[in-house]
Structure 1
Amino acid sequence: MVKCPRCGYENSASSTYCDNCAYLLTDQNGNRLNSRKSKGWRLGVAKKIIIVMFIIVIALLLFSFIYNTTQPDNETSLNVITDDGNNHHVASYPYTAVVEYNGYWYGKMGDPNYLVEQSGSGRGKMLLDCAAWERVHIEAQKQDSNDGPLTIKLYKNDQVVAENSTTAVGGSVSINYNY
């Protein structure tokens, strides 16, 4: 009996071709061919898929480890601000916005791209920490029909650097300050 190297079928000793898959079992001189064509590894498709999946998993784990170890934590990141409430820092450029009006008013103050809203009556004061801003924008509007003056002032180090007012009923006023 001769075992076919391709399909493993047991053929009769006189067979030149495999009876199952027609693989050539002898050469032109009638000598039996070596059952192995090459001495390399012979892996099935399933084993190859498992090896490729194992390599992919190892690569993903390695990438995840490298990514997580190279990212800054919250304490060293420049993009994350943490505050435990115990530290009080004074800004390098402390600005104060003051709204004065004998009635109800509504205002927006701060960086033109990030305005903080506030409403009140009478005199209102808001500390603006503008150290990183290029501009300061303040706007206020009357919320009643009083014709008294609505005044907004921008203070820097306790000195008025910009001021604007209106006496119109329902009027609004604004300041755009570039420093």
Structure 2
Amino acid sequence: MVKCPRCGYENSASSKYCDNCAYLLTDQNGNRLVQNKRTSSWNIGIFKKIVIVLGIVVIALLLFSFIYNNTQPSREDSLNVITDNGSLNHSSSYPYTAVIKYDGSWFAKTGDPNYLSSITGNGQKRETLDCASWEHVYIMAQKEDNGEGNLTIQLLKNGNVVAQNSTTNTTGSIEIHYNN
């Protein structure tokens, strides 16, 4: 029996090529070829090589997943949530206030033009706007009862009126666009 130097398969003594991997076992003169030990490749089958490579890939993916998950901020840390426990001074944090005056029912949208809040009411109402002093401010109010009274909106900044608009139209709708 002749052992293949490449795959280790036991071949018959008369074999010129390995029956398992077709490696040349003899030269043209019939002499057995001996593989140099320094240049030998792995003496394992292709299935074992595939298993080893897949194992390395799985270990690398698990390591990457572990590192990725442990370096990401928690859900609470990644949310930009600000809560007010009543200790904030709204006059400096939120300098704008909308005042809507009408004897009947009305509907309004107020705030930064990109993030409007909807409010409804009857009579006069003051609403602190969630806008910083450098932001644009928008107020739109409309009568809901088709009344003939005067609908007035005012924009106050730190308590001072900076813009005002009013209408007596029965289906009145008015707006204020304010850029500081």
Residues 49 and 68 from structure 1, CA distance in 2 versus in 1: closer, same or farther, beyond 3 angstroms? same
- Matching residue of 2:67: 66
- Confirm or deny that 1:27 pairs with 2:27: yes
Matches of 2:140 and 2:103 in 1, distance apart?
A: 17
Alignment size in residue pairs: 175
Superposition deviation, residue 131 in structure 1: 1.6
Does the 8 A contact of 2:150 with 2:168 survive in 1?
yes
Give the AA of the match of 1:92.
S
Label 1:19 to 1:115 Cα distance change in 2 as closer, same or farther (>3 A).
Answer: closer
Could you tell me how far apart the structure 2 residues matched to 1:142 and 1:27 are? 103
Q: Which amino acid aligns with 2:88?
A: H
Distance 1:7 1:72 in 2: 53
TM-aligned CA distance change 1:23 to 1:56, over 3 Å: closer
1:108 Cα deviation from its structure 2 partner: 0.3
Instruction: Assess, with a 3 A threshold, how the Cα gap between structure 1 residues 23 and 167 changes in structure 2: closer, same or farther.
Output: closer
Structural mapping, 1:111-122, within 5 Å: 111-122=112-123
1:123 paired residue number = 124
Contact preservation (8 Å) 2:106, 2:121: yes
Deviation string, structure 1 residues 51-70 (Cα, Å, up to 9, x no partner): 22222223223333333343
Answer with 111-120 or 19-28: which moved more.
19-28
For 2:74 and 2:2, locate their aligned partners in 1 and report how far apart those are by CA, in whole Å: 68
Structure 1's 33 and 161: CA in aligned 2 closer, same or farther, altered over 3 A?
A: same
* Equivalent residue, structure 2, for 1:88: 87
**Unaligned ranges ≥5, structure 1:** none
Is the alpha carbon distance of 1:24 and 1:48 closer, same or farther for their aligned partners in structure 2, counting shifts above 3 Å?
closer
Q: Hey, what does 1:152 align to over in structure 2?
A: 153
* Structure 2 counterpart of 1:102: 103
Identity of aligned residues (%): 55
Residues 27, 129 of structure 1: CA spacing in aligned structure 2 closer, same or farther, 3 A cutoff? closer
RMSD between superposed Cα atoms in Å: 3.0
Give the equivalent residue in structure 2 for 1:140: 141
Q: State the AA in 2 paired with 1:147.
A: E
Q: Secondary structure at the match of 1:129?
A: coil
Is this contact kept in 2: 1:9–1:18, CA < 8 A?
A: no
Q: 1:111·1:133 contact (CA, 8 Å) conserved in 2?
A: no
Indicate whether 1:170 and 2:174 are aligned.
no
Distance of 1:82 and 1:158 partners within structure 2: 24
Letter matched to residue 171 of structure 1: G
Distance 1:3 1:49 in 2: 23
Report the Cα distance in structure 2 between the residues aligned to 1:162 and 1:154, rounded to whole angstroms: 5
Equivalents in 2 of 1:19, 1:109: separation in Å? 85
Deviation digits for residues 12-67 of structure 1 (CA, Å, limit 9, x no counterpart): x4x26359577644333432222788423233222222222222223223333333
Corresponding letter in the other structure for 1:27: D
